Amino acid sequence: MANPSELLNDVIDLATDAGERILEIYQTDFDVTQKEDDSPLTAADMAAHNAIIAGLSILTPELPILSEESAKIPFEERKKWHTYWLVDPLDGTREFIKRNGEFTVNIALIDDHESILGVIYTPVSGLTYYAARGQGAFRRIKDGEASRIHTRKKEAGRTTVAGSRSHRGDSLNAFLAHIGNYDIISMGSSLKSGLVAEGKADIYPRLGPTSEWDTAAAHCIVDEAGGRITRTDLSPLRYNTKESLLNPEFLVVGDPDYDWVRFLLKECKGTFYSRADQIKISSRAKGLPSVKPQRKQRENHQYRTQNHPRHIIVMRHLDGRQRPRRRPQPEDRTGKIQLCHRLPGRSELQA
């Protein structure tokens, strides 16, 4: 396989060609059908899919291709892939149907479960984001000059949040309630991640369902711009590791050194974590080795509570004394145990 950066121009051309096919249908009275998962499908999705598959098959005939419109490839076959193309021919079909212009063509190259090349093309505006590993991230409007983009450091004060135009729900509202003063930019498709990559937004929290082709192209772009895309436990988001192609909930952050974890800890449900666990989570977010507590931890005592019948509360002892076996209260402010909630879809952390 060629160096990923050597493929970029050809992939941009393929995305642009697919965008032209989409625009041809965009100007017509197109029909909308429903896929098995009730998501919408148009002739534009298939036209872009066919154009990209044909182009990539010529560009790199040795590499397999996984597209949203050809996703029924069993994991028994996919798990043998080390390097492959991951494609969303029309990201933001709902925005396409609304005719608001906020839809994109996404093409990514995955190697060893990580995105190493990404192209996001916006057919209506001609905006292109693109990146290859080790080469930086760039933004270009139509035939204009490309400019290198960077995420921004989180400053004190208001937070700028990129949010979904079509999928805002209770989880995002709860997250925003904890984040303090904020401005929100509602946007469709992968353009939200693009806002973070070019420093126009601080964070894009996606606390609802997405698929791997929704994030793969943006992932390389955000990484190369200086940001990160992580799961809500701040572990890396990886590709083609399981039967399901659904992503876990995730965060796109512009400043990985900022303490985003304090908002995550308020978003979980029914678990108490020690300060040592919080240090581990924070260290993982910053790419640092986990920090062990200075004092030996005693055994974990588990309780069920009336308020959280489905969750186990974990008490971690950081001093050498036994704590009484009582049900901890939310107002516990001893400094040894801090209240938060379980991170979505996460099992208890191990010290």
Determine the residue type at 171: S
Half-sphere exposure of 167 (CA within 13 A, CB side): 21
**Residue 154, domain member (yes or no):** no
pLDDT tens digit sequence for 147-193: 999 999 999 889 999 988 766 667 788 888 888 899 999 999 999 99
Same domain, residue pair 137 and 21 = yes
**178 part of a folded domain:** yes
Comparing 29-43, 202-216, 217-231, the range with the smallest average pLDDT is 29-43
- Looking at the fold, whether 343 and 215 belong to one and the same domain comes out as no
- Out of 262, 288, 315, a domain closes at 262
* pLDDT above 50 for 6: yes
3-state SS, residue 89: strand
Contact partners, residue 115, CB within 8 Å, separation at least 6: 86, 108, 109, 216, 217, 219, 220, 223, 239
Question: The domain containing residue 167 runs over which residues?
Answer: 159-262
Chain mean pLDDT for the chain = 80
Same domain assignment for residues 43 and 141: yes
**What is the total count of domains within the chain?**
3
Its sign, for the CA torsion 284, 132, 11, 141, is positive
Q: What is the mean pLDDT of residues 271-290?
A: 44
Same domain, 199 and 127: no
Are 242 and 294 found together in one domain?
no
Strand partners for 115: 110
Judge whether 192 lies within some domain. Answer: yes
The pLDDT tens digits for 79-109 are 999 999 999 999 999 999 999 999 999 999 9
Dist. CA 348–CA 351, nearest whole Å: 10
My answer on whether 229 and 279 are in the same domain is: no
- The CATH code of the domain that includes 110 is 3.30.540.10
- Whether residue 258 sits in one domain with residue 272: no
Q: Are residues 14 and 116 in the same domain?
A: yes
Asked if 16 and 128 sit in the same domain, the reply is yes
